[in-house]
Amino acid sequence: MAEIRSQSAAAMAVAASALKAQQGRMRIIAENIANANSTARTAGGDPYRRQVPVFRPAKVEGAEGVQMARVEGDQKDFKTEYDPGNPAADAKGYVKLPNVDTLVEALDMKEAQRAYEANLNVIETARSMQSRTLDILKK
């Protein structure tokens, strides 16, 4: 019984670590979408840079889960648009726009949501198995 409980607890701990990681990922994606149309505050300055979560393995309850290690700026080039009247325009009249593609962000959000749901299902299944095991032992 202790072995079953520890395996179930480990499965739930791994799934919980993934839930937390995906929650952080969705927060970063939402920030990217919110800043997709922002420009620099100063003429010729850099606008918002797309943020990307970096995950790493993490020990949880005798198993290996996941956690967000850090958030890095995406080093892809900024988009530019000719708009000489914009206060953020450089000397040639070009405005740097964020390197955020809202379509990519929407797809990333959908992937993170599905991963989150899958991990919720793992937790629900592990709880159900524990409950059924207890019901069998009661008989």
**Tens digit of pLDDT per residue, the chain (139 long)?**
455 557 888 889 999 999 999 999 999 999 999 999 999 888 888 999 999 999 999 999 889 999 999 999 999 999 999 999 999 999 999 999 999 999 999 999 999 999 999 999 999 998 888 888 888 888 7
Q: Which residues contact 11 (CB under 8 A, 6 or more apart)?
A: 63, 122, 126
CA 64, chain centre distance (Å) = 19
Of 63, 61, 52, nearest in space to 25 by CA: 52
- List the structure tokens of 10: 């480990």
Please give the pLDDT value at position 61: 84
Pairwise CA distance, residues 30 & 130, whole Å: 36
Question: What kind and span of H or E run contains 95?
Answer: strand 94-97
Pairwise CA distance, residues 111 & 105, whole Å: 10
Considering the entire predicted model, what is its pTM?
Answer: 0.85
Please give the pLDDT value at position 138: 84
Of 50, 47, 82, 54, nearest in space to 68 by CA: 54
Q: For strand 63-73 and strand 94-97, is the pairing parallel, antiparallel, or unpaired?
A: unpaired
